[in-house]
Amino acid sequence: MDEHGATRPVTRRSILGTGLAAIGAGIAAAPRRAPAQAGRGKPFAGTTLNVSAWSGPYPKWLGDYVPEFEEKTGIKVNYETPAFPVYNQRADLELSTKGSAYDVLNLTFIYSSRWIGAGWFTPLNEFLSDPNKTAPDWEPGDFLAGAVAPLKDPKGNVYAFPWIADAYMAAAARYDLVEKAGLRMPETFDDIVKLLKAVHDKEGVKGFVNENHHGWTWIPYLQGFGGNVFRNPPEDLMPTLDTPEAVAAAEFYANLLRAYGPDGILSYTYDQALNSLQQGRANYITFNQAWLVQLGDPKKSKVAGTVNYSLMPAGPKGRFPGIASHGFGIPVGSKKKDAAWEFVKWSLSKDMMRRMLTEKGYGSITRRSIIAGPEFKQKMTINGRDVADLYLKTIDLAARGYMKYRTVHVYPQVDKQIDKAIELITSGQMSAREAMQKAQANSVADLKKAGVKL
């Protein structure tokens, strides 16, 4: 991030680059003694750690391996993965008190500027530079630099390491129905409508589904229509939710939900949307790669043989797929930081991340050594589609800098107003113009309360 909290440009070269090379060099130059690794004498045996992260695929599946960590280290782990909004509300409150209830927490992307800027997370450099705490082969420089960047402060101190570098793309769970209609994966917003008109309710399958966090799912449409959340983030944070472009994008997206989605779509969480696709009850979605690759797993998905993927389609003003990273860090109030660091290292080790890929099919890998390996390419080729290539192309697109809005410290307030506006439009309670004007007015009021000069 720069001094304003904005993400640094992310390129394929940068994510495959040296990343935290300076930290790695520091480790290499330091005297090497045996680090306090799990399984070597169990120096933290008898310690209890409280760990929480929102219920993304990696944290959820990590729970299956926690007993192994407990056995190797003698550390007991109280582990929880609540839903995204529940987690963020709970973590924000706990962090604001600098309390000691948690020892390891997820550093959430949209809260990264707020939580790091307030000093609520522990700088990890002291652990990285001490060979007694971090062995050289853990290699912090192996993490994708672009995914680590939002988890650092303006001075370059790192506060978490990423378990996800998520890329927004598109999937058709029942692509066979698309082919029967004589169509292909949409390249534009107009193509999305053509596809949905052709396949909606075919064989009882709804045309479209998505989660109800519209402050994430709607933004690629907003920017595709030429709009943005703020006028010029991070320097100018005047919200721009009532522009003609924003109104058009809101009407377009709400219509996808209303006309082609299942009943009750406004209550769908990310897991419910994924389940609907996996069961073959819904067809097309624009969402995160880490979830969408699960459609190609025959052990979990009834549509593994029919799913297809593409980049996020382009709007009238271009293609703007989102990217996000989240990571494990240590709250500043934790009284067990050394034991917490053992958990962070274990959970994001090369071995654990490789097992997530090979044993769980996890696709949003954040270590370049694993991305460069043959297993990643093999796992991410689904029904002949090179999803790994889509992943890297999406990150290339985000290098243009359009994701700067997301790590602005007051974005969470605007995010909530966007959620409400899309709900009002989709449910028919307000026109798109009325709802977006209301979102604009409420966002301006919220930002002024937060001390932002507009």
Where is pLDDT greater, at 70 or 9? 70
pLDDT tens, position by position, 326-362: 999 999 999 999 999 999 999 999 999 999 999 998 9
pLDDT of 141 strictly over 90: yes
Q: State yes or no: pLDDT of 33 exceeds 70.
A: no
pLDDT above 70 coverage of the chain, percent: 91
Q: Please report where in the chains the tokens 């020892």 appear, as a residue.
A: 103
Q: For the residues of 161-198, what is the DSSP string, one character each?
A: EEEEEEEEEEEETTHHHHHHTT--S-SBHHHHHHHHHH
- Alpha helices, H only, 8-76: 12-15, 21-29, 57-62, 66-73
- CA dihedral (79, 83, 84, 88) positive or negative: negative
Give me the pLDDT at residue 128, please.
97
pLDDT value, residue 151: 92
Looking at every residue in the chain, the average pLDDT score rounds to 90
Q: Who wins on pLDDT, 379 or 338?
A: 338
Residue type, 101: A
Rounded Cα distance between 1 and 150, Å, is 5
Region 166-173: mean pLDDT is 95
From first CA to last CA, the distance across the chain in angstroms is 22
Pairing of strands 282-288, 385-386: unpaired
Q: Which amino acid is at 190?
A: D
pLDDT of residue 372: 87
Q: Write the pLDDT tens digit of every residue in 104-126.
A: 999 999 899 899 999 999 999 99
pLDDT level of residue 40 (50, 70, 90 thresholds) = low
* Integer Cα distance of 251 and 264 in angstroms: 18
At residue 409, the pLDDT reads 87
pLDDT tens, 228-244?
Answer: 999 999 899 999 999 99
- Is the pLDDT at 5 greater than 60, yes or no? no
Q: What is the mean pLDDT of residues 439-448?
A: 98
Closest CA to 67 of 416, 430, 294, 346: 346
Statement: residue 16 has pLDDT above 60: no
In this prediction, residue 160 carries a pLDDT of 98
Q: What is the pLDDT of residue 329?
A: 98
- Is residue 69 over pLDDT 70? yes
pLDDT of residue 72: 96
pLDDT given at position 23: 36
CB of 409 within 8 A of CB of 113?
yes
Output the pLDDT for position 164: 93
pTM over 0.85: no
Crossing angle between the packed helical segments 244-260 and 411-426, to the nearest 10 degrees? 50
Higher pLDDT, 69 or 156: 69
Query: Is it the case that residue 386 has pLDDT exceeding 80?
Result: yes
Residue 17 has pLDDT above 80, yes or no: no
Backbone angles phi, psi at 158, to 5 degrees: -100, 140
Spacing of C-alpha 286 from chain mean position: 14
Residue-wise burial string across 68-94, b where 16 or more C-beta atoms lie within 10 A, e elsewhere: ebbeebbbebebbbeebeebbebbeeb
Determine the Cα–Cα distance for residues 324 and 162; give it in Å rounded to an integer.
Answer: 10
